[in-house]
C-alpha cells in the first residue's frame, strides 16, 4: 500500500486529469481505416479515376503539411495521420471526372489539398486550432472556383478498370430539377431506387455513394467510441423529419406539399452519411459538450434541408457543416457544464 502523500507533496494542474492510451495519431489512423470500405466501393463504381483522384489528394495534403512545417521550422506532424485523413476525405468528396486531361482538371484536387491543409489548418496554428473542417473548406473553395468541373458526375459502371465513363445527374439533382416521378423512372421503381442508393450504384462524389460501406465504417467508430451518437443521429433525424414535412411537391403544380416528402431518399442521397458520421463529428470543429453536440447536429440537419429545398444547390451537407462550425464555440460556451462544487452568484 502506497503511503498517503502530505498536502505539500500534491501537485495541482489544469485539466484534463483523466488520461488513457489513446493518442491523436491512433485516432486519426483508425478513422482513416474506417473510411476504407467506402473508398473501395468508390473505386469499384468509378474505376481507376477514383483511385488517382484520391491518391492525388492524399499525396498533395501530406506534402503540403510537410513543406509548410519545414518552411516555418515547426515540428513535423505528417506521421500523425491528420494530413492523410484530410486528403482522403477531400478525395472522397470530389467527382472522379476531375481526372481528365481534356479539359485539363488534374490540378484542381492539388489546389483543394493546399487550401485545406495550409490555409485552413496550418495558418490557424495546426491540428486542434482550426475553426473549420479542412477537407470541407477545400471542397467549398473548389466548388466556388471551378463550378463546372466540380459538378460533372459520371455514371457508376462497376467496371473498376475502365477509364471511360458517361456523365449523368446525381439523384438529388434529378429530384430538384425534375421531381420524384422522374427520379423513380430513372431507377425503374421505388424499391430499386432505395436499393441502388443504399449500395452506392449512383452518381456522386467518390466516397459518398455507398451508404452500406459508410455505415460499416461508422459502426466501427461507434464501437471504438471515437464518435458518439449525438451529432450523427440528431443530424440524420432532423433531415428525416424536415424532409417528410417540407420535402413533398405537387406533380401538377410543383408547389410544396406538407407531410408528403420521402425522408428515405434524402437520408440515402448525397453526402449526408459521409458528412454526418465522418465530418460533422470532427473533434476540433464540433462542440465538446454532449447537449451542444445535439444542437449542432440539429442545426446541420436544418441547414442541409433548407439548402436542398430552397437553395440553388441540390446538396447542402457541406455548407451546413461549415456554417455550424462557426457556432461550435458559442454552443460550447452556452451549454458548458457547471463546475463541480462551484456556487453560482445570485443575480442582483
**Three-state secondary structure string covering the chain:** CCCCCCHHHCCCCCCCCCCCCCCHHHHHHHHHHHCHHHHHHHHHHHCHHHHHHHHHHHHHHHHHHHHHHHHCCCCCCHHHCHHHHHHHHHHHCCCHHHCCECCECCHHHHHHHHHHHHHHHHHHCCCCCCCCCHHHHHHHHHHHHCCCHHHCEECCCCCCCCCCCCEECCHHHHHHHHCHHHHHHHHCCHHHHHHHHHHCCCCCCCCCCCHHHHHHHHHHHHHHCCCCCHHHHHHHHHHHHHHHHHCEECCCCCCEECCCCCHHHHHHCCCHHHHHHHHCCCCCCCCCCHHHHHHHHHHHHHHHHHHHHHCCCCCCHHHHHHHHHHHHHHHHHHCCCCCCCCCCCCCC
- Over the stretch 318-346, which tens digit does the pLDDT of each residue have? 999 999 999 999 999 998 766 666 666 66
What confidence score (pLDDT) does residue 160 get? 53
What confidence score (pLDDT) does residue 19 get? 66
- Over the stretch 280-301, which tens digit does the pLDDT of each residue have? 999 999 999 999 999 999 999 9
- Written as one string, the DSSP assignment of 144-174 is HHSTTGGG-EE---S-TT-----EE--HHHH
Average pLDDT over residues 48-52: 94
What confidence score (pLDDT) does residue 342 get? 67
What confidence score (pLDDT) does residue 16 get? 60
> Would you say 46 and 208 are in contact if contact means Cβ atoms under 8 Å apart?
no
What confidence score (pLDDT) does residue 171 get? 93
Q: Is a pLDDT exceeding 90 seen at residue 61?
A: yes
- Over the stretch 156-207, which tens digit does the pLDDT of each residue have? 876 555 555 667 889 999 999 899 999 999 999 999 999 999 999 999 999 9
Q: Is a pLDDT exceeding 90 seen at residue 83?
A: yes
CA distance 33 to 16: 27
Q: Is a pLDDT exceeding 70 seen at residue 26?
A: yes
DSSP H or E segment with residue 35: none
DSSP-assigned letter for residue 288:
S
Please tell me which residue, 132 or 24, carries the higher pLDDT value. 132
Amino acid at each position: 500500500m502506497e503511503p498517503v502523500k502530505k498536502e505539500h507533496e500534491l501537485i495541482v494542474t489544469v485539466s484534463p486529469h483523466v488520461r488513457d492510451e489513446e493518442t491523436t495519431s491512433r485516432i486519426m489512423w483508425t478513422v482513416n481505416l474506417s473510411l476504407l470500405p467506402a473508398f473501395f466501393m468508390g473505386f469499384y463504381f468509378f474505376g481507376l479515376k477514383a483511385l488517382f483522384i484520391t491518391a492525388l489528394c492524399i499525396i498533395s495534403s501530406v506534402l503540403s503539411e510537410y513543406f509548410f512545417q519545414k518552411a516555418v521550422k515547426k515540428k513535423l506532424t505528417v506521421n500523425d495521420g491528420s494530413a492523410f485523413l484530410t486528403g482522403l476525405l477531400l478525395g472522397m468528396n470530389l467527382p472522379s471526372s476531375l481526372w481528365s486531361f481534356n479539359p485539363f482538371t488534374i490540378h484542381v484536387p492539388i489546389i483543394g489539398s493546399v487550401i485545406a491543409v495550409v490555409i485552413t489548418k496550418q495558418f490557424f496554428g495546426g491540428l486542434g486550432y482550426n475553426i473549420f473542417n479542412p477537407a470541407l473548406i477545400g471542397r467549398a473553395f473548389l466548388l466556388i472556383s471551378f463550378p463546372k468541373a466540380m459538378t460533372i458526375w459520371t455514371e457508376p459502371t462497376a467496371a473498376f478498370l475502365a477509364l471511360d465513363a458517361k456523365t449523368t445527374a446525381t439523384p438529388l439533382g434529378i429530384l430538384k430539377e425534375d421531381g420524384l416521378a422522374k427520379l423513380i423512372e430513372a431507377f425503374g421503381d421505388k424499391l430499386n431506387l432505395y436499393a441502388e442508393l443504399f449500395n452506392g450504384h449512383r452518381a456522386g462524389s467518390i466516397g459518398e455513394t455507398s451508404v452500406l460501406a459508410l455505415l460499416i465504417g461508422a459502426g466501427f467508430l461507434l464501437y471504438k467510441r471515437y464518435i458518439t451518437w449525438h451529432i450523427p443521429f440528431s443530424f440524420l433525424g432532423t433531415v428525416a423529419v424536415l424532409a417528410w414535412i417540407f420535402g413533398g411537391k405537387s406533380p401538377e403544380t410543383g408547389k410544396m406539399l406538407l407531410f408528403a416528402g420521402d425522408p428515405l431518399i434524402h437520408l440515402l442521397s448525397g453526402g449526408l452519411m459521409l458528412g454526418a458520421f465522418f465530418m460533422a463529428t470532427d473533434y476540433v470543429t464540433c462542440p465538446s459538450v454532449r447537449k451542444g453536440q445535439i444542437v449542432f447536429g440539429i442545426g446541420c440537419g436544418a441547414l442541409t434541408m433548407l439548402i436542398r429545398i430552397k437553395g440553388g444547390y441540390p446538396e447542402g451537407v457541406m455548407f451546413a457543416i461549415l456554417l455550424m462550425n462557426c457556432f461550435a464555440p458559442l454552443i460550447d460556451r452556452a451549454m458548458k457544464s457547471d463546475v463541480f462544487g462551484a456556487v453560482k452568484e445570485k443575480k442582483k
